[in-house]
């Protein structure tokens, strides 16, 4: 073993050591310089938790700025999960203090809607003294904190409930497509009504706080974030005063109907529900939209209780959650004669002066068709036929349309009805609208094809055309469609999409976006068609033989002229649907109103008095009349 050999061997060892250190330095360079950017992202994801706290929603206001949906600050007790899990006796104390069962508190603490890094509300709407007690005895309640949270509140309770809608916790189906928009599980979202349609405006920007979190999920410190921004206000075209009158009048009419005997069945009217809609025919604004029975949207704010939900969906309660104004489908009865009349004049089937001798009965193929209540109206032209509601006149038109189908087409009347907005979506800014349908040969054929068992006869018979001409048969439309079709007629033929929203306002009340009138289509409505019909509708309320004359007895027609049309629809297996549509002032209409009362009898008896009361209230509001509207009164009528 020489000195040289030993030196050489030490040299080898030195080289090995050097190369190992080089390897470490190279790797360190790689990690901290070359690969650092990719790793850095991962490091941040690991350690920063982002917690979102929802902002208060924007308010919903009526057209005059009255608050219909607001936020209320409530006192809540929140619990830090980590602490209460270690100190379960704390929850026992809360349970005793508030009288809430312990297992209920456990369920709330375990609620996975809340971020792990956020305290969970264990009690909302806590009385102030209880909250103060907790604060004064904080050492007995570790991990429990009292704070203020905001929640949706509808100060007018049931008023305009169907229009305003409800809010609730977002569900998986709603969350899926909205994740990109920043929604999180547990968020509040509009579920129906304006709350749903204008969700994007009403929802604010959540408070975002970034928290540094260790690998066990414990919050170390706050890294800042951004404060919550409350959502924008939505101003409606609804006038809450008219809305209130509409709801009250509708309710009165229904209650009255339930006390009245149906001569056809000998029983009281069932009158389970109804609707009243008021719009402005000039721009499609909805001024009132009532649906009865109704509900209180406040019941949904903190999650509707199972008992309440069952109650609201019990068939015996006649489905108060349904907005009958846009979801209820009703045979329009004689109110449909608007369409038949327009079609007959437009197609030249009749001239305004042409008359038919109404003897109360019209026979087709040996089958008798009669007027309601067996009335005989004698010689009637189209104007007179509308005023007295002669079915026979329209049976005559119905048969002639069918006989002349080679010339007018198979669905001449129906096409006019559709062009006025019946049997199609109105495009109102409310969710879950029904489209309804207009009975016609193509429809019957389609029904048969789709379901031959339920609809065994694909053919269309003359008798069908007679029924169709007076708004019977398979035609079913919503109260809003009915209102809109008359609005389209009186404004000169412009079909507008009705809108409940009026404008979106920022927090200072400045208009961010105006909801503009949307023209769906323009139809040709020359004076030669309009005038005879307007005269007929005018006669309904003002002519002593008009079907609505009794209902408007004593109404200040001179100052506030009202024109309208009654309707009584027969529904198989049910009592008659009572309908009335009117517009005012008759010479330059600013209001169109439709009232529909289910199973309440004649339109003249039940619906027209309800409409009258609403119009009376409007007259008072406009300063035209000073007499406050009297209670709804049931009147005798023929249609």
Partner 1 sequence: MQAPRNPASPWRHVDLTLLLSTVGIALIGVVMVYSSTRQKQENAGLDPAFFLKRQAVFLLLGLVALGAISLVDYRRIRDFAPILYGGAVLALLLVVSPLGTSRRGTQAWFQLGSFQFQPSEVAKVVLILTLAAICAGARGSFDTAGVLTALGVAFVPMALILVQPDLGTSMVFIAVVIAVLLVAGAKPRHMAVLALLGISAIVMIVELGVLKDFQRDRLTAFLDPQADVQRSSYNLRQSQIAIAAGGVAGRGLFEGTQTNLAFVPEQHTDFIFTAVGEELGLVGGVSLLGLFGVMMWRIWRAAVLARDQFGRLVCVGVLAMLVFQIFENVGMTMGITPITGIPLPFMSYGGSAMIASCIGIGLVLNVHMRRFA
The Cα 207–Cα 200 span in angstroms is 17
CA-based torsion, 330, 300, 182, 74: positive or negative: positive
Options 22-30, 314-322, 422-430, 521-529: segment touching partner 1 (CB under 8 A) = 22-30
Q: What are phi and psi of 108, to 5 degrees?
A: -70, -40
Least distance in angstroms from the C-beta of 286 to partner 1 = 56
- Is residue 447 within 8 A of residue 457, CB to CB? The reply is no
Contact residue for partner 1 among 102, 218, 259, 621 (CB under 8 A): 218
- Is residue 78 within 8 A of residue 145, CB to CB? The reply is yes
Residue closest to 612 by CA, chosen among 558, 568, 569, 548: 548
554 burial type by CB count under 10 A (0-12 exposed, 13-18 middle, 19+ buried)? exposed
The reply on whether position 24 binds partner 1 by CB under 8 A is yes
Assign 3-class secondary structure to 338-354. HHHHHHHHHCCCCCCCC
Contact residue for partner 1 among 20, 200, 351, 553 (CB under 8 A): 20
The reply on whether position 3 binds partner 1 by CB under 8 A is no
Burial 245-257 (b: 16+ CB within 10 A, else e): bbbbbbbbbbebb
Contact residue for partner 1 among 112, 172, 181, 216 (CB under 8 A): 216
Options 34-42, 319-327, 515-523, 600-608: segment touching partner 1 (CB under 8 A) = 34-42
Contact residue for partner 1 among 9, 86, 113, 513 (CB under 8 A): 9
The Cα 348–Cα 122 span in angstroms is 72
User: Please, which residue, 35 or 147, has the CB nearer to partner 1?
Assistant: 35
Least distance in angstroms from the C-beta of 87 to partner 1 = 15
Options 28-36, 267-275, 371-379, 442-450: segment touching partner 1 (CB under 8 A) = 28-36
Contact residue for partner 1 among 4, 33, 374, 453 (CB under 8 A): 33
Options 175-183, 212-220, 346-354, 529-537: segment touching partner 1 (CB under 8 A) = 212-220
Least distance in angstroms from the C-beta of 116 to partner 1 = 15
User: Please, which residue, 50 or 497, has the CB nearer to partner 1?
Assistant: 50
Placement of tokens 């327009």 in the chain: 342
Residue closest to 279 by CA, chosen among 61, 554, 489: 489
* Residues in region 40-59 near partner 1 by CB under 8 A: 40, 42-43, 46-47
Least distance in angstroms from the C-beta of 51 to partner 1 = 16
What string marks each residue from 280 to 319 as x (binds partner 1 by CB under 8 A) or -?
Answer: ----------------------------------------
Contact residue for partner 1 among 28, 110, 116, 442 (CB under 8 A): 28
Least distance in angstroms from the C-beta of 39 to partner 1 = 3
Tell me which H or E stretch contains 289: strand 286-292
User: What does the block give as tokens for 538?
Assistant: 């005018």
Least distance in angstroms from the C-beta of 293 to partner 1 = 57
The Cα 117–Cα 211 span in angstroms is 8
Tell me which H or E stretch contains 385: helix 382-388
User: Please, which residue, 14 or 127, has the CB nearer to partner 1?
Assistant: 14
Q: Which residues contact 320 (CB under 8 A, 6 or more apart)?
A: 293, 294, 295, 312
Least distance in angstroms from the C-beta of 2 to partner 1 = 9
The reply on whether position 17 binds partner 1 by CB under 8 A is yes
Where does 341-416 show beta strands of DSSP type E? Answer: 356-358, 361-364, 367-370, 378-380
Q: What are phi and psi of 470, to 5 degrees?
A: -110, 20
The reply on whether position 631 binds partner 1 by CB under 8 A is no
The Cα 275–Cα 290 span in angstroms is 5
Options 19-27, 88-96, 286-294, 554-562: segment touching partner 1 (CB under 8 A) = 19-27
CB atoms within 10 A of CB 224: 8
The Cα 290–Cα 274 span in angstroms is 8
The Cα 254–Cα 606 span in angstroms is 8
User: Please, which residue, 5 or 572, has the CB nearer to partner 1?
Assistant: 5
Least distance in angstroms from the C-beta of 141 to partner 1 = 20
User: Please, which residue, 213 or 515, has the CB nearer to partner 1?
Assistant: 213
The reply on whether position 116 binds partner 1 by CB under 8 A is no
Q: Which residues bind partner 1 (CB under 8 A)?
A: 1, 5-7, 9-10, 12-14, 16-17, 20-21, 23-25, 27-29, 31-33, 35-36, 38-40, 42-43, 46-47, 212-216, 218, 220
């Amino acid at each position: 073993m020489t000195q040289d050999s030993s030196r050489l061997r030490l040299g080898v060892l030195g080289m090995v050591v050097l190369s190992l250190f080089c390897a470490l330095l190279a790797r360190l360079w790689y990690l901290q310089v070359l690969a650092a950017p990719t790793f850095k992202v991962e490091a941040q994801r690991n350690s920063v938790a982002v917690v979102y706290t929802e902002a208060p929603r924007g308010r919903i206001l009526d057209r005059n700025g009255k608050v219909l949906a607001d936020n209320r600050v409530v006192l809540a007790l929140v619990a830090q999960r980590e602490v209460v899990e270690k100190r379960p006796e704390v929850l026992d104390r809360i349970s005793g203090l508030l009288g809430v069962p312990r297992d209920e508190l456990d369920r709330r603490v375990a609620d996975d809607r809340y971020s792990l890094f956020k305290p969970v509300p264990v009690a909302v709407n806590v009385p102030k003294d209880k909250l103060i007690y907790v604060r004064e005895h904080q050492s007995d309640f570790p991990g429990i904190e009292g704070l203020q949270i905001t929640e949706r509140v509808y100060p007018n309770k049931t008023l305009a409930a169907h229009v305003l809608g409800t809010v609730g916790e977002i569900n998986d189906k709603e969350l899926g497509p909205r994740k990109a928009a920043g929604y999180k599980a547990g968020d509040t979202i509009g579920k129906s009504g304006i709350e749903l349609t204008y969700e994007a405006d009403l929802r604010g920007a959540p408070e975002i706080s970034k928290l540094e979190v260790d690998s066990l999920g414990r919050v170390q410190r706050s890294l800042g974030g951004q404060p919550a921004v409350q959502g924008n206000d939505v101003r409606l075209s609804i006038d809450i005063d008219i809305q209130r009158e509409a709801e009250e009048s509708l309710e009165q009419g229904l209650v009255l109907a339930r006390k009245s005997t149906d001569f056809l069945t000998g029983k009281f009217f069932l009158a389970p529900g109804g609707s009243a809609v008021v719009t402005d025919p000039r721009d499609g604004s909805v001024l009132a939209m009532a649906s009865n029975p109704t509900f209180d949207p406040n019941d949904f704010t903190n999650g509707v209780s199972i008992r309440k939900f069952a109650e609201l969906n019990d068939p015996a309660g006649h489905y108060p959650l349904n907005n009958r104004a846009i979801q209820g489908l009703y045979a329009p009865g004689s109110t449909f004669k608007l369409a038949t009349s327009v079609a007959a004049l437009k197609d030249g089937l009749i001239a305004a002066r042409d008359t038919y001798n109404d003897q109360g009965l019209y026979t087709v193929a040996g089958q008798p068709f009669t007027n309601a209540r067996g009335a005989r109206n004698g010689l009637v032209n189209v104007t007179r036929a509308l005023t007295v509601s002669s079915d026979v006149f329209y049976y005559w038109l119905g048969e002639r349309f069918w006989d002349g189908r080679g010339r007018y087409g198979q669905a001449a009347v129906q096409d006019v009805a559709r062009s006025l907005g019946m049997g199609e979506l109105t495009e109102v800014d409310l969710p879950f609208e029904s489209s309804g349908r207009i009975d016609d040969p193509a429809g019957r054929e389609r029904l048969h094809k789709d379901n031959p068992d339920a609809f065994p006869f694909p053919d269309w018979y003359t008798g069908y055309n007679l029924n169709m001409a007076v708004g019977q048969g398979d035609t079913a439309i919503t109260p809003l469609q009915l209102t809109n079709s008359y609005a389209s007629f009186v404004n000169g033929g412009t079909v507008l999409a009705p809108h409940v929203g009026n404008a979106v306002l920022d927090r200072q009340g400045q208009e961010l976006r105006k909801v503009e009138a949307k023209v769906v289509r323009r139809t040709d409505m020359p004076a030669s068609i309009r005038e005879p019909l307007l005269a007929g509708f005018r006669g309904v309320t003002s002519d002593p033989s008009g079907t609505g004359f009794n209902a408007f007895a004593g109404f200040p027609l001179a100052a506030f002229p009202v024109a309208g049309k009654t309707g009584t629809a027969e529904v198989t297996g049910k009592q008659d649907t009572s309908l009335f549509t009117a517009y005012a002032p008759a010479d330059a209409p600013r209001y169109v109103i439709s009232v529909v009362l289910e199973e309440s009898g004649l339109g003249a008896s039940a619906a027209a008095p309800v409409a009258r009361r609403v119009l009376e209230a409007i007259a008072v509001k406009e300063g035209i009349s000073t007499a406050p509207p009297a209670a709804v009164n049931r009147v005798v009528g023929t249609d």
